[in-house]
Structure 1
Amino acid sequence: MAPAITLAAEAPKLSAANTGFMLICSALVLIMTPGLAFFYGGMVRVKSTLNMLMMSFISMGIVTILWVLYGFSLAFGTDKGSFIGWTSGWVGLSDIGLTELWDGYTIPVFVFMVFQLMFAIITPALISGALADRVKFTAWSLFITLWATVVYFPVAHWVWGTGGWAFELGVIDFAGGTAVHINAGAAALGVILVIGKRVGFKKDPMRPHSLPLVMLGSGLLWFGWFGFNAGSWLGNDDGVGALMFVNTQIATAAAMLAWLLYEKIRHGAFTTLGAASGAVAGLVAITPSGGAVSPLGAIAVGAIAGVLCAMAVGLKYKFGYDDSLDVVGVHLVGGVIGSLLIGLFASGKGQSTVEGLFYGGGLTQFWKQCAGVFAVLGYSLVVSAVLAFLIDRTIGMRVTEDEEITGIDQAEHAETAYDFSGAGGGAARTAVPAPADTDAKKVDA
């Protein structure tokens, strides 16, 4: 009998289809940051609109440069002690070939790099919603720089980098439940515990000034999230990315409906803000879990997240922390829910054969998820609070009380979101002037 011939596995080849798909997904993830800016911008009062938009937009500038200079190397370079990565040839992207493939995949390193860049951009931008109305723009910019360096880059390596401790432990995070949402939500909580409440918190009305902007922003987030989630499988060859795409839609719909139902029962109305917030809660919760659960599991994940996040947003009034736009209630809580439910609902028929408790797999995966969730939560909370404290004690984190009351847009950007000086056009020019002794009435923005 002739000896058996063992053939080496064929090395991956560059796939034009997967490369194009991933570039499209990268663009979809980028559009999420302007979408987030609109979502947050509509939720604040008129006098803070531009500042809220800028807090997201500046992340696109700062994090891009950091990622090119050293962030990509720290997050995805050769593992150093299971905590951080480093590949000197990636500093400044100086030693990466045009057709050099990401290890084990059919896309170039440059494509993987730019896809992950978009995650790095939106994560600190998420934090900004908790700090509305009161943070100096220079302090925020410095915070982004430091936070990305000492929190996001290391945590991304833990969760997704080869050799990272959470990755090697088997913690499942398909697209960012721990590295993005829990990370940002815990950071938000850490910072607001340091900088304190807005002037007038729990006393003055602080309603959204533009619910249409909120709905537009949530729609852009929902749209871009398909790239965020489905793209995280880095290709289209085995159907897992398609499962994630489907589950993203299903969980988001379920969460929106669950939030609205809770809101109707609890408060007596179906609100547009509730619909938008519920959709985002579903998107957050399915982000870590969508590759591991079935479509029915996605309904469960979304519905549970919709109700629990709706309940969680009110905790700030009970415990007295001023989470301006519910980053803690939606992103931290939603990220924890989605990550832990993997341990219950993982079907074993998606991204891996891992099964959760309800599919006969016991609690093994659940405990692994707990390890990842609470390690990221604790690290981000503590380090973010320390960074905020140091910045506050040096250049100061907050604008003055007068500037906050007058409006942070004028104080920090010398602009206003809406110019009403020409309102009324020709009718205003021909109107009969009011008597000189008529009392002027001002509307607080």
Structure 2
Amino acid sequence: MLLASSPSGLDTGDTAWLLASTALVLLMTPGLALFYGGMVRSKSVLNMIMMSFVSIAVVTVVWLTVGYPLAFDRDAGAGLIGNLDHLGMAGITPSSLTGHVPTLLFAAFQLTFAIITAALISGAIADRARFGAWVLFTAVWTVLVYVPVAHWVFAPDGWIAAHLGALDYAGGTVVEVNCGASGLALALVLGPRVGFKKEAMRPHNLPLVLLGAGLLWFGWFGFNAGSALGANGIAAAVLLNTQVAGCAGLLGWLVVEKRRDGHATTLGAASGAVAGLVAITPSCGSVDLPGALAIGLAAGVVCSFAVSWKFRLGFDDSLDVVGVHFVAGVIGTVLIGVFATATMTGRVSGLLHGGGLGQTGKQAVAVVVVAAYAFAVTWGIGKAIDKLMGFRASRDDELTGLDLAVHAETAYDHGVLSHGATHLSVTAGLPHSSDKAPVA
């Protein structure tokens, strides 16, 4: 093995932390696959898991071909999109640096964000999407929706970061608001599942849900603290903010469940933790521990009610991408304007720290623009794919279960009578509070 010298300016400690963080964030997508897989009915669990795993492959190819250059190359004008100076990562060598870390590693870290954002959308259309259509959608959506928004927010010359002045430390707009608005658009394009609002579509495996939530929580430390791009005090503060917000979200959700329904459920605990972690994602580098506690608690409480809105409004967001990711993402992004402290940001203070209302307005503008853009473009992509090849699975396939119909497999042997037999749905598990059919 040949030993190469490190390029001048490389910080090996920062590089080591970002290598670990990249692995942590990549692990979040298999964690999401288990989280989502446990929440669907047993007849479509493999299909749900596959939608996450195939996102890893598709987004990786797209990102390393055109995604990273368009998101992070020098701005092509007005802070809207980068250029293609490094198409296919051309010209980026092991000696190339972004800050104090290798550019190749920075690109890989950002890749893991793009992967999980695309995978999150699948929860809004669980149980009813054609697999081939999902693969095509993931590729097109990454280029037309994720990449521009990432440039606006994460690139130094992006218009939200450089011109608007809104803060988003680790992706409240890029990941959470983006996937939530996109999930809503795609759910409307596909329409509701067969039996929506008539059947209690219960999660088939709650231990799987909790395992997935635990892996998500574990990976979130890389997601947020890794965004410091260094092994330093800010990363430590961000890590603690992430932990306390996740705990506050979990407790807030359970308190609401206990008072409203009489039971504190395991699914509620998992959902509340995710809500708190979502909300702290944009704000973890801007607030202190009391602010993180307040933001996480607000997300847990509000999202525990928001997941039922789909029944009132009539859209079938199967696994509550809108009710958890969109709503908590909005909460965490906007509340930066209230709880931000100059100790963390270095310059910007929120309303409670003497900063006035100006920053809150900037945060709200960023949310509205990203949500509107993501919804409109995703709607267009979904409609185009639907006309081209059909996006919605057939009624027979949906009723039989996508595992057998699409993948010729089942997760559980007791669900199959023979190689060509109809899948027998297993209905074990407790319903999510949002998936109980409303009482007439």
Question: Same-fold call, TM > 0.5?
Answer: yes
Structure 1 segments of 4 or more deviating over 6 A? none
Q: Cα deviation per residue 1:137-179 (whole Å; 9 max; x = unaligned)?
A: 0000111011001000000000011211001121111001000
Structure 1 residue aligned with 2:83: 86
Structure 1 residue aligned with 2:34: 38
Cα distance in 2 for partners of 1:216, 1:116 equals 25
Provide the TM-score with structure 2 as the length reference.
Answer: 0.92
For 2:46, which of 44, 50, 69 is the aligned residue?
50
Q: CA deviation at 1:275?
A: 0.1
SS in structure 1 of the partner of residue 112 of structure 2: helix
Structure 2 residue aligned with 1:226: 221
Q: CA deviation at 1:240?
A: 1.0
Cα distance in 2 for partners of 1:206, 1:224 equals 28
Structure 2 residue aligned with 1:399: 393
Amino acid at match of 2:208: L
Amino acid at match of 1:273: L
Cα distance in 2 for partners of 1:66, 1:122 equals 14
Structure 2 residue aligned with 1:289: 283
SS in structure 2 of the partner of residue 79 of structure 1: coil
SS in structure 1 of the partner of residue 97 of structure 2: coil
Cα distance in 1 for partners of 2:144, 2:83 equals 14
Amino acid at match of 2:81: I
Structure 1 residue aligned with 2:269: 275
Answer whether contact 1:12 1:106 (CA < 8 A) is retained: no
- The change in CA–CA distance for 1:268 and 1:236 in structure 2 (over 3 A counts) is same
Report whether the alignment pairs 1:71 with 2:56: no
Q: CA deviation at 1:223?
A: 0.2
Structure 2 residue aligned with 1:177: 172
Amino acid at match of 2:234: V
Cα distance in 2 for partners of 1:39, 1:399 equals 22
Cα distance in 1 for partners of 2:371, 2:404 equals 35
Answer whether contact 2:410 2:416 (CA < 8 A) is retained: no
Amino acid at match of 1:216: L
* Runs of 5+ unmatched residues, structure 2: 1-6, 418-423, 428-440
Structure 1 residue aligned with 2:433: none
Structure 1 residue aligned with 2:91: 95
Answer whether contact 1:174 1:288 (CA < 8 A) is retained: yes
Report whether the alignment pairs 1:265 with 2:259: yes
- The change in CA–CA distance for 1:407 and 1:254 in structure 2 (over 3 A counts) is same
For 1:300, which of 294, 299, 312 is the aligned residue?
294
Cα distance in 1 for partners of 2:90, 2:187 equals 39
Cα distance in 1 for partners of 2:74, 2:312 equals 45
Cα distance in 2 for partners of 1:107, 1:268 equals 51
How many residues are aligned here?
A: 413
Amino acid at match of 2:126: A
Cα distance in 2 for partners of 1:13, 1:101 equals 8
SS in structure 2 of the partner of residue 241 of structure 1: helix
Q: Cα deviation per residue 1:67-117 (whole Å; 9 max; x = unaligned)?
A: 1111000100110121100142x2121211212111xx2101011110000
Amino acid at match of 1:94: A
Q: Which moved more, 1:43-52 or 1:414-423?
A: 414-423
Q: CA deviation at 1:443?
A: 6.0
SS in structure 1 of the partner of residue 92 of structure 2: coil
Q: Cα deviation per residue 1:323-363 (whole Å; 9 max; x = unaligned)?
A: 00000000000100000000001011103321111111001
Amino acid at match of 1:26: T
Amino acid at match of 2:222: G
SS in structure 1 of the partner of residue 25 of structure 2: helix
Structure 1 residue aligned with 2:435: none
For 1:14, which of 4, 10, 26 is the aligned residue?
10
Q: % of aligned pairs identical?
A: 54
Answer whether contact 1:240 1:351 (CA < 8 A) is retained: no
Q: Cα deviation per residue 1:239-266 (whole Å; 9 max; x = unaligned)?
A: 1111110000000000100000001111
Q: CA deviation at 1:444?
A: 5.7
Q: How does 1:239-250 map to 2 (within 5 A)?
A: 239-250=233-244
SS in structure 1 of the partner of residue 352 of structure 2: helix
Answer whether contact 1:24 1:227 (CA < 8 A) is retained: yes
Cα distance in 2 for partners of 1:210, 1:392 equals 31
SS in structure 2 of the partner of residue 228 of structure 1: helix
Cα distance in 2 for partners of 1:166, 1:228 equals 20
Answer whether contact 1:42 1:214 (CA < 8 A) is retained: yes
Cα distance in 2 for partners of 1:101, 1:170 equals 25
Structure 1 residue aligned with 2:434: none
Structure 2 residue aligned with 1:127: 121
Structure 2 residue aligned with 1:62: 58
Answer whether contact 2:279 2:331 (CA < 8 A) is retained: yes
- The change in CA–CA distance for 1:412 and 1:385 in structure 2 (over 3 A counts) is same
RMSD between aligned residues? 1.4
Q: Cα deviation per residue 1:366-403 (whole Å; 9 max; x = unaligned)?
A: 01101111100000011101111111111000111011
Cα distance in 2 for partners of 1:111, 1:444 equals 43
Answer whether contact 1:56 1:125 (CA < 8 A) is retained: yes
Cα distance in 2 for partners of 1:421, 1:162 equals 52
Cα distance in 2 for partners of 1:244, 1:421 equals 45
Q: How does 1:229-378 map to 2 (within 5 A)?
A: 229-237=224-232, 239-378=233-372
Q: Which moved more, 1:160-169 or 1:122-131?
A: 160-169
Structure 2 residue aligned with 1:429: none
Provide the TM-score with structure 1 as the length reference.
Answer: 0.91
Structure 2 residue aligned with 1:193: 188
Q: CA deviation at 1:14?
A: 0.3
Q: Cα deviation per residue 1:196-237 (whole Å; 9 max; x = unaligned)?
A: 000000112210000000000000000000000000010124
- The change in CA–CA distance for 1:422 and 1:134 in structure 2 (over 3 A counts) is closer
Cα distance in 2 for partners of 1:240, 1:128 equals 33
* Runs of 5+ unmatched residues, structure 1: 1-10, 424-441
- The change in CA–CA distance for 1:153 and 1:270 in structure 2 (over 3 A counts) is same
SS in structure 2 of the partner of residue 85 of structure 1: coil
Cα distance in 2 for partners of 1:208, 1:416 equals 16
Answer whether contact 2:188 2:315 (CA < 8 A) is retained: yes
